[in-house]
Amino acid sequence: GWKMEDVMDEEIKVINNMVGPDDHVICALSGGVDSTVAATLVHKAIGDRLHCVFVDNGLLRYKERERVMETFERDLHLPVTCVDVTEQFLSKLKGVVDPELKRKIIGKEFICNNLGKKPVFFVQGTLYPDVIESCPPPGTGRTHSHTIKSHHNVGGLPKDMKLKLIEPLKLLFKDEVLQLGRILTVPYSFLKRHPFPGPGLAVRVLGDVTEDNALDTLRQVDEIFIQLIKDAGIYDSIWQAFAVFLPVKSVGVQGDQRTHSHVVALRAVTKGLITRSYGSHDWLYLKQFKLEILGRRLLVFYSIDSNMYYFEREFLDDVVQKICNNVRGVNRVALDITSKPPSTIEWE
């Protein structure tokens, strides 16, 4: 097996051989585990010649920017600048309702915003499965035209890019990144956070994200839901939990008043079950299962299916009451009970 301390030392050596003493390195932090661990590792190797950028694209969760900046600065001492491009992003997304088009626009904006400075190297938190996923196995006849959704943070860098890539996690699986994160003293609460999609709340506001105060409403609903999940001590038993804003209004009665307000949906799923080998599934939904035999890594392909997480009745009552009493413009809460497949985890 691999010892994570050795992997770390080896990676630091590789980075130091690659990056000259006067070279500068840029890293776009997403707030996720992978880019954070990658940046922390590179920082350990080259110190403040690393320049991190955190982009607030206006599609982040409630107080996400403040929360992650605090972790970066206070806990990890990373040199990080926060760039607010909310207006630029939202103006590009105005009027766009097609889910794939939304994803494509976000991918394009993301790249333009993070490059264009002078550094020689660019850090990416690419994992081993990302490397495999972005090149379908030979003989399957599968290409990217088969994708159900385009994941913007896989590949996607312009071909004429002058920066050289540093991908220190390229040989690691997710569980190994978590181990490495622990060695690098990334806070445990940060490492345990539910995954959050690159396109952010844009895929959780159905339709035009700029309409009806949707992003703000969604942030409030999501925060109440997640906070109650944490209070109930079930956060770690859930793979992913979030709210979805629907561009639909329904009739309700609040106080003595008839209301015509928005409907939100809640979704919580359990960690995927490895179910069947590929053949019937889209390539993007095939995951790799690691096997190590005599120190060599083999890959076995499976699809990962998720089920809904079953909440207690009292918990749900509490959530609904809190949402309807505290979030203006919402008078109905629906619970998504669908598994994956046939649904995907995200609604768009």
Q: Where is the binding site, in residues?
A: 30-36
Give me the helix-helix angle, 86-93 and 99-114, nearest 10°: 150
User: Residue 65 or residue 332: which is nearer to ligand XMP going by CB?
Assistant: 65
User: Residue 244 or residue 324: which is nearer to ligand XMP going by CB?
Assistant: 244
Phi, psi of 82 (to 5 degrees): -100, 125
Q: What is the smallest separation between the CB atom of 89 and ligand XMP, expressed in angstroms?
A: 15
Of 223, 282, 318, 346, the one binding ligand XMP (CB under 6 A) is: 346
Nearest to 169 by CA among 130, 115, 120: 130
User: Residue 88 or residue 339: which is nearer to ligand XMP going by CB?
Assistant: 339
DSSP three-state, residue 302: strand
Of 43, 51, 65, 152, the one binding ligand XMP (CB under 6 A) is: 152
Q: Which residues are annotated as a binding site for ATP?
A: 30-36
Choices 129-137, 223-231, 315-323, 338-346; region in contact with ligand XMP by CB under 6 A: 338-346
Q: Beta strand pairing status for 296-305 and 273-274?
A: antiparallel
User: Residue 126 or residue 261: which is nearer to ligand XMP going by CB?
Assistant: 126
Cβ atoms < 10 Å from Cβ of 309: 17
Contact 60, 31 (CB under 8 A): yes
Q: What is the C-alpha to C-alpha distance for residues 267 and 274, in angstroms, rounded to an integer? A: 20
| x-or-dash string of contact with ligand XMP, 132-151, rule CB under 6 A | -----------------x-x
DSSP three-state, residue 51: strand
Residues 225-284 that bind ligand XMP (CB under 6 A): 240
Q: What is the smallest separation between the CB atom of 109 and ligand XMP, expressed in angstroms?
A: 13
Give the 3-state secondary structure percentages of the chain, helix then strand then coil, rounded to 5. 40, 25, 40
**Cα four-point dihedral sign 210, 53, 200, 63:** negative
Phi, psi of 333 (to 5 degrees): -125, 125
Q: What is the smallest separation between the CB atom of 193 and ligand XMP, expressed in angstroms?
A: 12
Q: What is the smallest separation between the CB atom of 176 and ligand XMP, expressed in angstroms?
A: 18
Size of the site for ligand XMP (CB under 6 A): 13
Of 134, 259, 338, 344, the one binding ligand XMP (CB under 6 A) is: 344
Residues 189-218 that bind ligand XMP (CB under 6 A): 195, 197-199
User: Residue 8 or residue 218: which is nearer to ligand XMP going by CB?
Assistant: 218
Q: What is the C-alpha to C-alpha distance for residues 138 and 119, in angstroms, rounded to an integer? A: 36
Cβ atoms < 10 Å from Cβ of 253: 9
Task: Note whether 49 binds ligand XMP by CB under 6 A.
Answer: no
Looking up tokens 């993007």 gives: 284
Q: What is the C-alpha to C-alpha distance for residues 154 and 258, in angstroms, rounded to an integer? A: 47
User: Residue 197 or residue 207: which is nearer to ligand XMP going by CB?
Assistant: 197
User: Residue 168 or residue 200: which is nearer to ligand XMP going by CB?
Assistant: 200
Count of CA atoms in the C-beta half-sphere (13 A) of 235: 16
Contacts to ligand XMP by CB under 6 A: 149, 151-153, 195, 197-199, 240, 340, 344-346
